[in-house]
């Protein structure tokens, strides 16, 4: 079994805004195209043009219909990738040490040369955030684009995960969630960001921002605003005449 670091210097992670995610899959595919040529082996696609195409993805969007009080359901788009947990069960379950959490930034990675493809980590992860690569038989997972965020071959502004760089709806934010003064920590505080399935005791680093309260009706009544109907027995055209007089 593999140990977790006793402490981490920073807690890099994602803050995902469920209020603006429209479920467009931009993050999913941009992640795929970056990472298939990035850290570790390619992200393979089995039977890519056949009856049962099945590829490895590090990030997926799940779409749920949520029944509420109303007659009609709400739809929630829920992006999900590795949450880089402080108490990552995928690490402690790993028999070879291939799964590990970095002490410098808290990123959970797989050292693919040591991975025997046993799949225990995927069983241990309560979030379903790990996928076996169909081509290489090694476990793939979100690396937080560890080959981007420190990459000196990229302009500084691009040193963020591909999903964050791509997201058209500004629903993904990257930063140090261990630093209470960071932009992401402030966002979590302001918007009541929450842990996914805290009862699992994994202490995830990634946070989700809940949908903002919906403003279905602002309680404004037209009758409260209305002028035309209040202004006399000559009806709309009487109001119109007086309104035009006021215009000059």
Subset of 131-170 contacting other proteins (CB under 8 A): 134-136, 146-147, 150-154, 157-158, 162, 165-170
Torsion sign (Cα): 186, 187, 192, 198: negative
- The nearest distance, CB 141 to other proteins, in angstroms, is 15
Beta carbons of 237 and 45 less than 8 angstroms apart: no
Rule CB under 8 A: say whether 67 interacts with other proteins. Answer: yes
Among 7, 37, 156, 233, binds other proteins (CB under 8 A): 37
Residues 189-248 that bind other proteins (CB under 8 A): 211-212, 214-218, 220-229, 231, 236-237, 239-241, 243-244, 247-248
Nearest to 11 by CA among 231, 224, 245, 174: 174
Closest CB to other proteins among residues 68, 181: 68
Beta carbons of 68 and 74 less than 8 angstroms apart: yes
Closest CB to other proteins among residues 30, 81: 30
Beta carbons of 25 and 168 less than 8 angstroms apart: no
- The nearest distance, CB 121 to other proteins, in angstroms, is 16
Rule CB under 8 A: say whether 118 interacts with other proteins. Answer: no
Among 9, 62, 74, 201, binds other proteins (CB under 8 A): 74
The CA distance from 111 to 40, in Å, is: 8
Site size for other proteins (CB under 8 A): 97
- E-strand ranges in the chain read 12-17, 45-46, 54-55, 59-66, 74-81, 99-101, 108-110, 131-132, 139-140, 172-176, 207-209
Among 10, 13, 36, 58, binds other proteins (CB under 8 A): 36
Among 14, 57, 129, 178, binds other proteins (CB under 8 A): 57
Closest CB to other proteins among residues 147, 200: 147
Rule CB under 8 A: say whether 32 interacts with other proteins. Answer: yes
Beta carbons of 171 and 16 less than 8 angstroms apart: yes
Beta carbons of 167 and 26 less than 8 angstroms apart: yes
Rule CB under 8 A: say whether 113 interacts with other proteins. Answer: yes
Among 95, 97, 201, 210, binds other proteins (CB under 8 A): 97
Structure tokens, 155: 């302009």
């Amino acid at each position: 079994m593999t140990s977790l670091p006793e402490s981490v210097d920073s807690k890099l992670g994602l803050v995902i805004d469920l209020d603006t995610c429209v479920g467009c899959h931009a993050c999913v595919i941009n992640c795929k195209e970056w990472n298939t040529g990035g850290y570790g082996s390619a992200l393979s696609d089995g039977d890519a043009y056949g009856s049962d195409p099945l590829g490895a993805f590090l990030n997926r969007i799940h779409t749920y219909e949520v029944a509420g009080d109303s007659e009609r359901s709400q739809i929630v788009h829920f992006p999900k990738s590795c949450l880089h947990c402080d108490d990552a069960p995928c690490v402690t379950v790993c028999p070879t040490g291939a799964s590990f959490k970095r002490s410098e930034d808290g990123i959970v990675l797989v050292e693919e040369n040591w991975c025997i493809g046993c799949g225990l980590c995927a069983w241990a992860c309560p979030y379903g955030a790990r996928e076996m690569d169909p081509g290489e038989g090694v476990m793939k997972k979100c690396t937080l684009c560890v080959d981007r965020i420190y990459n000196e071959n990229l302009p500084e502004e691009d040193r963020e995960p591909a999903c964050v760089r791509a997201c058209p709806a500004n629903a993904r934010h990257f930063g140090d969630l261990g630093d209470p003064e960071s932009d992401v920590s402030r966002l979590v505080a302001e918007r009541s960001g929450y842990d996914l399935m805290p009862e699992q005791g994994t202490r995830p680093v990634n946070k989700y921002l809940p949908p903002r309260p919906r403003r279905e009706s602002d309680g404004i009544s037209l009758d409260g605003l209305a002028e035309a109907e209040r202004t006399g027995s000559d009806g709309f055209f009487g109001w119109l005449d007086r309104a035009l007089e006021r215009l000059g």
